[in-house]
Amino acid sequence: MKLPTRGAAGHLSHVVIDTADFKGNFPQYCELHAINSDSDIPPHPMSYSPPSTCYPSSEKEALNTKEDEWTLVLPQAQLGPHREHYFQLESAGKGAFTHVRVTIFPDGGAKRVRVFGSKVLTLGEETPLHGFEHADTIDQILGDVTPEENNRCLRKVLALPLTPEAFAPFGQVIQSYADITSAPRAVKITQANFGTASKYHKLSLLKSSYPGDMGATTGISVYRCQPVEVVKNGTRRELILNALERHPFTNQSFLPMGQDKDNVYLVVVAKNGLDDRPDIGTLRAFAARGDQGIVYNTGIWRKQHPTNL
């Protein structure tokens, strides 16, 4: 599909894939490619021939090229039924594109696909290059980079709503679902307590790899946290993250002790790099609701903050 950037290319930020109302026939996986092309119908590589059911149907008339000019911006990601799925794109802040291509596996339906980003500036325009539009999410877009931030080499990361699929590379999400048909298909749900409760089985398993001679034990602790200071700038809200930490021998769970889903806490994660430091290229941020818990995989760099949003 062609991006609505009025003839200009755009920098991509994130995508929202909505499978609302598809409770059985939803796609299990999807991936996104993008291209910068002057043509309304960009060429496709020989290895990718649009199916007869493609939309729009005019895609079937696209030219084929020997070289694949499309860029993978979202590697194959898992989808679930009857929900919105938020994914940060691999191309965030890199390159400019005019079209995106959505591929689903093996088949199924999606209600809509929304791609967010910013138009490439032309001479005379003053719109901030990285001032992404509000994305109808509980995250807030970060503001402009100041000279001080630039000198400190700060990296700005968009906080997207927490979903099991997007968080899967870093851990598991602990939550129930008002409509059990929207729960991930891998989750086993049964009635419990004489039919007065629904049990979501083993959303995460306890893992420990401490050496035996350390005498490590599994325990439950309570943290009483103060909300971090969030700076408001118009419709934008931002905070500075000064450190990440990790547990190299165990996974770790955090469960908010409240029931108000409108209370938001921020979750920031990154995978471990080759130098045993955070791989900044994998840095992601999520806005978690007060009725969602999280489990970090072993060795994941992480930080979570309650907020006053």
Model confidence pLDDT, tens digit, residues 180-192: 999 999 999 999 9
Q: Which of 133, 156, 182 is the last residue of a domain?
A: 133
Instruction: Looking at the structure, tell me whether residues 174 and 276 fall in a common domain.
Output: yes
pLDDT confidence of residue 242:
86
- Structural domain including 298 reads 164-211+221-306
Query: Does residue 184 belong to any structural domain of this protein?
Result: yes
Using 50, 70 and 90 to split pLDDT, how confident is the model at 245? very high
Q: How many domains does the chain have?
A: 2
Looking at the structure, tell me whether residues 99 and 173 fall in a common domain.
Answer: no
Write the CB contacts of 10 (distance below 8 Å, at least 6 apart in sequence). Answer: 3, 96, 97, 98, 117, 118, 119, 120
Same domain? For 172 and 129 the reply is no
Query: Does 141 fall in a domain?
Result: no
Return d(Cα 86, Cα 97) in angstroms, integer: 20
CA nearest to 172, candidates 163, 181, 161: 163
Q: Do both 107 and 189 map to the same domain?
A: no
**Average pLDDT in the chain:** 83
Residues 127 and 43 in one domain: yes
Whether 140 is in a domain gets the answer no
Instruction: Please name the residues in contact with 62: beta carbons below 8 A apart, sequence gap of 6 or more.
Output: 41, 42, 43, 44, 50
pLDDT in the model for residue 165: 95
pLDDT digit string, tens, across residues 260-277: 778 889 999 999 999 999
Q: pLDDT band at residue 259, thresholds of 50, 70 and 90? A: low
Q: What is the pLDDT of residues 73-97, one digit of tens each?
A: 999 999 999 999 999 998 766 789 9
Q: Over pLDDT 70: what percentage of the chain?
A: 86
Q: What is the CATH number of the domain that holds 196?
A: 2.60.120.480
Considering the domain architecture, whether residues 53 and 182 belong to the same structural domain is answered as no
Q: Same domain, yes or no, for 233 and 283?
A: yes
How confident is the model over 3-34, as pLDDT tens digits?
876 667 888 999 999 999 999 899 999 999 99
- Predicted model pTM: 0.81
Task: Check residue 45 and give its pLDDT.
Answer: 77
Q: What is the CATH number of the domain that holds 91?
A: 2.60.120.260
Q: Are residues 80 and 173 in the same domain?
A: no
Q: Do 75 and 114 belong to one domain?
A: yes
